[in-house]
Structure 1
Amino acid sequence: MSYFRTNVDAMASYVPGEQPPRGTQVIKLNSNENPYPPSPAALAALQNIDGEWLRRYPEPYGGQFRQAVSQVLGVPSDWIIVGNGSDELLSIVIRACAEPGGKIVYPMPTYVLYRTLTEMQAAEIIEIPYPEDYSLPLQALIEADGAVTFIASPNSPSGHVVPNDDLRKLANQLTGVLVIDEAYVDFADETALDLVQEYDNVIIIRTLSKGYSLAGLRLGFGIANPQLLSGLFKVKDSYNIDAIACIIGASAIIDQAYKNSCVAKIKASRNQLTQDLKKLGFRVWDSQANFLLVQPPQNNAEYLYQQLKAQQILIRYFKQPGLDDKLRITIGTEQQNQTLLTALTNI
């Protein structure tokens, strides 16, 4: 006997990257966390939390954080929705816009949570393969015409950015919602932010987990025309963002100078690690994110993953078609990257 809906019984759980216990001496390059600490301004805000902010319910729409995002990005605050991590916003969009049995469309490989969230809604999954060069399969996406279409840009695990011209063509011809997931945009050379002004069916999703070193805070936001947000607000929990997250997040996003300095270090390390891995014979895909997709010279990706894990170095291995001969490596500090390279050389 099962107590669960048929689609829940049938679905597989999303499997996040391994999280070793705190204090463990592990080099963690598997979940695309930022290797540098959060902004000193964010840490100072944490130290100054007032007990009164904990006693009362938080602002239901994350007003303080919305104002900070508005100030930094130059978009009106009523064009912003705040979520408990960007993952919650992805879930809200599917719940608000896709009927059970409706079509959710995205190119593959990409963020595997899209599949899990679609299965939770009992919607129809349409996965369209990326070609070898990761150019957007534009016509196939248009023809599928999903209730929701997800495009991660930069994409994970490939790290490539989808050109804005392709995204415009997609937004212009879809009858449903286009979600442009910019979780890694802080490490990229371009953004699709302007598209929300041009198309009322486009929402940009961002997070503070990557560029701002706040993965443990669980804070993300979406930007879209208020007409689109009005339906999403109906679906979100009443108080989905806690007061501490709003206060810290506002301080972090205002401190652009600190974020940009960390991003610059990560970009420099990304370039260096790319060169060093190529010298070891790896194929390395061009990346505009804080990670690299690589193919080992002996096509022994799973073996390398296991050997590194035994040496307390965690990277990401995806046992699925198209990725089972590749590895995804988060950019760490210079010292962490060097330890990884030494281990790979020895193996």
Structure 2
Amino acid sequence: MTYFRPDINAMSGYVPGEQPPPGTQVIKLNTNENPYPPSPEALKVLRELEGELLRRYPDPMAGAFREAASQVLGVPADWILVGNGSDDILTMIIRACCGPGRGVVYPMPTYVLYRTLTQIQGAEFVEVPYQEDYTLPVEQLIEAQGAVTFVASPNSPSGTVASVEQLKELATQISGVLAIDEAYVDFAETDALEVAKKYDNVIILRTLSKGYSLAGLRLGFGVANPALLEGLIKVKDSYNVDAVACAVGAAAIADQHHKNINAQKIKASRTQMADSLKQLGFHVLPSQANFLLAQYPGGNAEFLYKSLKERGILVRYFNQSRLTDKLRITVGTPEQNEALIKLLSEILTGEISKSVSPTRS
């Protein structure tokens, strides 16, 4: 017996990166968390929260956060829609825009939750292959004409970005919504906020999980013309952002100085880690995120992933097309990165020694 729709039975659910139990002694470089603490201002708000804030229902539109984000981004508060992580905004977009005959389009490989949410909604999806260097396949995305087109920039797992010119071309040539997922924008050199300001069919998605070190808080937001947000508001959960997240998130986004200092540390470590991986023989794509996609010189990245895990370091391995020979590695602290490179060197040296050792007769 089954209680579920046939399409739900047939689909695979999204599988998040491994989260070891609290207190586990492990170097965790698999889910792109920021290795540095959140803003002291945000932590101060958390410590001083009054019980009355918890007794009452929260502001359904998270007004305090909208106002704080408005000041930082230079857009009116009613251009901002807040969610329980940016994944919540993704859900609203697909709920409001997609269904039978109204599908989703995105380039691949990318964030596979786009596919999962589309399947939950009972809509079709079109996956357009990235070029080998992860150049955005603009013409093919336009040709597909989705009700929603998702572009992650920087993209995960590649860390590569789409140019503002490419995104503007998409916005003008598709008939549906263009959702630009900027979860990792705090580590990039450019952003696409101006595209959302200019085109009514564009929404920018951002999160406090990465640049602001608040992955455990679950707070994200979208920026778009209020006319586009109006339809999304109709399908959002009534109180989708809790009072704690709203208050702490408002303090965090206001503290741009703290966020920017940590982002600069990560960008410097990213460059150093990429150089070290290349010295070990890896091919590494140029990244503008807080992670690197590294192609394993031996081809079998799953072996390397398991070898690292056995020795207390977690990285991300994707058993899917075009990624089986690659690892996605989060940029950690300099000490964590050094430990990773040292262990990789030992593992690779061991593999080389095995391959050249004489066979006993």
TM-score range for the pair, normalised by the shorter chain length: over 0.9
The corresponding residue for 2:76 is 76
Q: How does 1:193-272 map to 2 (within 5 A)?
A: 193-272=193-272
After TM superposition, give the deviation of residue 265 of structure 1 in Å: 0.3
Amino acid corresponding to residue 146 of structure 1 in structure 2: G
The corresponding residue for 1:98 is 98
Amino acid corresponding to residue 315 of structure 2 in structure 1: I
Maintained 8 Å contact 1:101/1:122: no
What is the CA–CA distance in structure 2 between the aligned matches of 1:125 and 1:97, rounded to whole Å?
A: 13
Maintained 8 Å contact 1:158/1:287: yes
Asked whether 1:312 is paired with 2:312, we answer yes
After TM superposition, give the deviation of residue 7 of structure 1 in Å: 1.2
What is the CA–CA distance in structure 2 between the aligned matches of 1:321 and 1:231, rounded to whole Å?
A: 35
What is the CA–CA distance in structure 1 between the aligned matches of 2:261 and 2:230, rounded to whole Å?
A: 36
What is the CA–CA distance in structure 2 between the aligned matches of 1:135 and 1:284, rounded to whole Å?
A: 15
Structure 2: gaps (5+ residues): 348-361
The corresponding residue for 1:44 is 44
The corresponding residue for 1:125 is 125
What is the CA–CA distance in structure 2 between the aligned matches of 1:197 and 1:211, rounded to whole Å?
A: 22
After TM superposition, give the deviation of residue 36 of structure 1 in Å: 0.5
What is the CA–CA distance in structure 1 between the aligned matches of 2:5 and 2:111, rounded to whole Å?
A: 24
What is the CA–CA distance in structure 1 between the aligned matches of 2:101 and 2:22, rounded to whole Å?
A: 41
After TM superposition, give the deviation of residue 197 of structure 1 in Å: 1.6
The corresponding residue for 1:112 is 112
After TM superposition, give the deviation of residue 21 of structure 1 in Å: 0.5
The corresponding residue for 1:137 is 137
What is the CA–CA distance in structure 2 between the aligned matches of 1:123 and 1:129, rounded to whole Å?
A: 20
Maintained 8 Å contact 1:105/1:126: yes
Amino acid corresponding to residue 275 of structure 1 in structure 2: D
Maintained 8 Å contact 2:58/2:242: yes
Maintained 8 Å contact 1:84/1:219: yes
Maintained 8 Å contact 2:295/2:325: yes
What is the CA–CA distance in structure 2 between the aligned matches of 1:61 and 1:289, rounded to whole Å?
A: 29
What is the CA–CA distance in structure 2 between the aligned matches of 1:54 and 1:168, rounded to whole Å?
A: 43
TM-score (norm 2): 0.95
Deviations 1:115-173 (A, max 9, x none): 10011001001000001011111111101000000000000000001001010000001
The corresponding residue for 2:14 is 14
Asked whether 1:299 is paired with 2:288, we answer no
The corresponding residue for 2:343 is 343
Amino acid corresponding to residue 284 of structure 1 in structure 2: V
TM-score (norm 1): 0.99
- After the TM superposition, which parts of structure 1 deviate over 3 Å for at least 4 consecutive aligned residues? none
Percent identity over the alignment is 66
What is the CA–CA distance in structure 1 between the aligned matches of 2:133 and 2:285, rounded to whole Å?
A: 10
What is the CA–CA distance in structure 2 between the aligned matches of 1:228 and 1:300, rounded to whole Å?
A: 45
Amino acid corresponding to residue 67 of structure 2 in structure 1: Q
The corresponding residue for 1:322 is 322
After TM superposition, give the deviation of residue 100 of structure 1 in Å: 2.8
* Structure of larger gyration radius: 2
Q: Secondary structure at the match of 2:193?
A: coil
What is the CA–CA distance in structure 1 between the aligned matches of 2:166 and 2:282, rounded to whole Å?
A: 30
Q: How does 1:148-159 map to 2 (within 5 A)?
A: 148-159=148-159
| CA root-mean-square deviation | 0.6
Deviations 1:268-312 (A, max 9, x none): 000000001111111010000000000111112110000000011
Deviations 1:164-216 (A, max 9, x none): 10100000011100000000000000000001121100000000000000000
Amino acid corresponding to residue 34 of structure 1 in structure 2: N
* Matched residue count: 347
